[in-house]
Amino acid sequence: MEHIFNDRQLKKAEFIMDNPCARLSGLLSNEIQDLGVAWCYYSGKIEGNTYTYVETASLLKDGVTSEKRYEDAKMLKNLYNTFISEVEYINKLKNKEVIDERTLFRLHSSISSQLVSNEESGNLRNRAVRISGTTYIPPKDLTEIRQELNRILNEQDSYENPLEKAVFLHCNLARLQPFIDGNKRTARMIESVAMMNADLIPVNSAKDSDILHYRKALVHYYETKDYSQYIEYFLDRQIERINEIAPEKYMYREDGNYSMGR
């Protein structure tokens, strides 16, 4: 299988994977909680969740519910419970999560609990869906959905680079829309699991500009099957986060080279 990253992107990926600031295992318990809040806010905001960052933190850390839609609070709680459960399994217990159909269905069931019907939570959809903001129409036939899902899950093993695998899984699962709802949330969770399996902190952001970039890059992939825009967003978001933590130590230069100071 050919790389989906070009040479410049592979150098960025190498920088991220070699960087101590990218390590999930380097986080303390309170930092993992903060990561969970940030990740859930990011994932929920992409879906139009109305909770602010402060409201999200109050809900997930203190159980304080804002006067907003029940579905928004439930979405965030489902995301947080699922994310923290995966962190504990992978990071604390030093396991790796097998990314297969069973895991995918289990994660979707957890993410979509009480947001879709029991029959549709954790099961492939048997009716058509549409995606707003794009001309792309996902497959309608259950047999086609299942065949494409099998292809995605089988082809992931062709990518030894965990960041390539994460991008491949995320973009293709989101494009397939295998479930009646919660597809992008589940795709982001699978992307995060692929990263956590490699001891890497998952992509997240509280910036509206990053959320807009995410949406545009994913729509571009839906319509063209070109990974480039999403790859650039994905890698640059990680590098930006690293530089925000320790800019004096870890720098990635525009020429594609990088150095790690002492």
What is the average pLDDT across 17-41? 96
CA distances from 69 to 73, 76, 78, 115, 211 (A): 7, 11, 15, 12, 21
Q: Which residue has the higher pLDDT, 250 or 64?
A: 64
pTM of the shown model = 0.95
Whether the pLDDT of residue 36 is over 60: the answer is yes
Question: pLDDT band for position 262 (50/70/90)?
Answer: very low
Smallest Cα–Cα separation from 41: which of 55, 31, 56, 30?
A: 56
Average pLDDT, the chain: 94
Question: pLDDT band for position 192 (50/70/90)?
Answer: very high
Structural domains of the chain ordered from first start: 7-120+133-252 (1.10.3290.10)
Cβ–Cβ under 8 Å, residues 156 and 172 = no
Residue 258 phi, psi (nearest 5): -145, 160
Dump the DSSP string for 85-118. HHHIIIIIS------SHHHHHHHHHHHHTTTS-T
Smallest Cα–Cα separation from 188: which of 2, 205, 248, 180?
A: 205
pLDDT in tens, 122-173: 999 999 999 999 999 999 999 999 999 999 999 999 999 999 999 999 999 9
Whether the pLDDT of residue 20 is over 60: the answer is yes
pLDDT of residue 23: 96
pLDDT in tens, 66-123: 999 999 999 999 999 999 999 999 998 899 999 999 999 999 999 999 999 999 999 9
Smallest Cα–Cα separation from 181: which of 128, 217, 133?
A: 128
What kind and span of H or E run contains 258? Answer: strand 258-260
CA atoms within 13 A on the CB side of 133: 10
Whether the pLDDT of residue 260 is over 70: the answer is no
Place of tokens 């994932």: 43
Whether the pLDDT of residue 54 is over 90: the answer is yes
CB neighbour list of residue 92: distance below 8 Å, 6 or more residues apart: none
Question: pLDDT band for position 253 (50/70/90)?
Answer: low
Query: Would you give the DSSP letter of residue 219?
Result: H
Question: pLDDT band for position 261 (50/70/90)?
Answer: low
Residue 228 token pair: 């480039």
CA 182 – CA 230 distance, rounded (Å): 19
